[in-house]
């Protein structure tokens, strides 16, 4: 089996993480990969831990659930430490710089970015998921960003299409700055 990629988008309920996971999965499939996607099914629309997991493979995944994360997004406090046990030296963690205040530490690459602030600046905190998705992809490089942008525009609800596109571009800009800062 070729490279297996494990990705988790986590935060609190009602943040559109499931939709973001669905968009990412669609882009990955268009890029020729196969995806197993699972998510928290507790009624978390009013808060509580929420997550969307993707196991990306070239063929059917042996085990479709995440066991060791390559990429993790932490949007909000309830998710701060929920995935600690799944991180390792090769993990990339992207977290919101403001909301995730308790220390996320480990021998992995950590990026603290103003995801929420950026979303609010673009027009609504509701698109923090898209900002995060763009930044994650730009940093992780596991799917062409143009392809992902196409899916963001295509799969987001029609009335939020422009807003989502703007959020996506703002997320890319964040990541570009981040990479520059690390060079």
Partner 1 sequence: MTDGLRNLQGNAACALGAIAAGCRFYAGYPITPSSEIAEWMAAELPRVEGVFIQMEDEIASMAAVVGASLGGMKAMTATSGPGFSLKQENLGYAIMVEAPCVVVDVMRGGPSTGMPTRPSQGDLMQARWGTHGDHPIVVLAPHTVAEIYTETIRAFALAERLRLPVVLLYDETLGHLVETVATEPPPPEAVVERRWAEVPREAYRPYAAGEDLIPAMARPGDGYRAHTTGLTHDERGFPTQEPAQVAALLDRLLGKLDRHRPLIERVETVEAADADVLIVAVGITARAARAAVRELRRTGVKAGLFRPVTLWPFPEGRFRRQAESARAILVPEMNAGQLVLEIERLAPDGVRVRGLPRYDGEPVAPDAIVAAARELVG
Could you list the residues that contact partner 1 (CB under 8 A)? 1, 22, 25-26, 29-30, 32-39, 41-42, 60-65, 67
CB of 92 to partner 1, least distance (A): 22
Nearer to partner 1, 22 or 149 (CB): 22
CB of 2 to partner 1, least distance (A): 13
Q: Is 48 helix (H, G, I), strand (E, B) or coil?
A: coil
CB of 103 to partner 1, least distance (A): 27
Report the nearest approach of partner 1 to the CB of residue 1 (Å): 8
Quick one: 32 or 102, whose CB is closer to partner 1? 32
Q: Check if the beta carbon of residue 21 is closer than 8 Å to that of residue 9.
A: yes
Whose Cβ is closer to partner 1: residue 22's or residue 99's?
A: 22
Beta strand 92-96 with 71-74 is parallel
- Residue 54 and residue 25 in contact, taking contact as beta carbons nearer than 8 Å: yes
Measured from the CB atom, is 26 or 119 closer to partner 1? 26
CB of 154 to partner 1, least distance (A): 11
Concatenate the DSSP letters of all residues of 99-127 into one string: T--S---SSSEEEEE-HHHHHHHHT-GGG
- Whether 128 and 119 have beta carbons less than 8 Å apart is answered as yes
How deeply is 108 buried, as exposed, middle or buried, from its count of CB atoms within 10 A (0-12, 13-18, 19+)?
middle
Nearer to partner 1, 35 or 156 (CB): 35
C-alpha–C-alpha distance, residues 91 and 141, integer Å:
13
**50 bridge partner residues:** 11
**Least Cβ distance, residue 51 to partner 1 (angstroms):** 13
Residue among 136, 144, 134, 139 nearest 166 (CA): 134
Which of residues 8 and 22 has its CB atom nearest to partner 1 in the complex?
Answer: 22
């Amino acid at each position: 089996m070729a490279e297996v990629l494990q990705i988790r988008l986590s935060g609190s309920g009602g943040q559109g993480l499931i939709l973001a996971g669905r968009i990412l999965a669609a882009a990955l499939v268009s890029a020729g990969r196969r995806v197993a996607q699972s998510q928290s099914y507790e009624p978390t629309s009013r808060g509580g831990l929420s997550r969307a997991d993707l196991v990306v493979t070239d063929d059917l995944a042996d085990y479709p659930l995440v066991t060791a994360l390559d990429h993790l997004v932490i949007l909000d406090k309830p998710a701060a430490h929920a995935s600690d046990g799944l991180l390792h030296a090769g993990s990339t963690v992207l977290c919101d710089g403001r909301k995730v205040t308790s220390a996320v530490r480990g021998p992995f690459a950590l990026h603290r970015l103003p995801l929420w602030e950026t979303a609010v600046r673009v027009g609504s905190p509701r698109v923090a998921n898209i900002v995060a998705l763009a930044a994650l992809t730009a940093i992780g490089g596991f799917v062409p960003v143009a392809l992902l942008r196409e899916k963001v525009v295509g799969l987001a609800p029609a009335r939020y299409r422009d807003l989502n596109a703007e959020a996506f571009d703002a997320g890319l800009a964040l990541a570009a700055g981040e990479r520059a800062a690390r060079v």
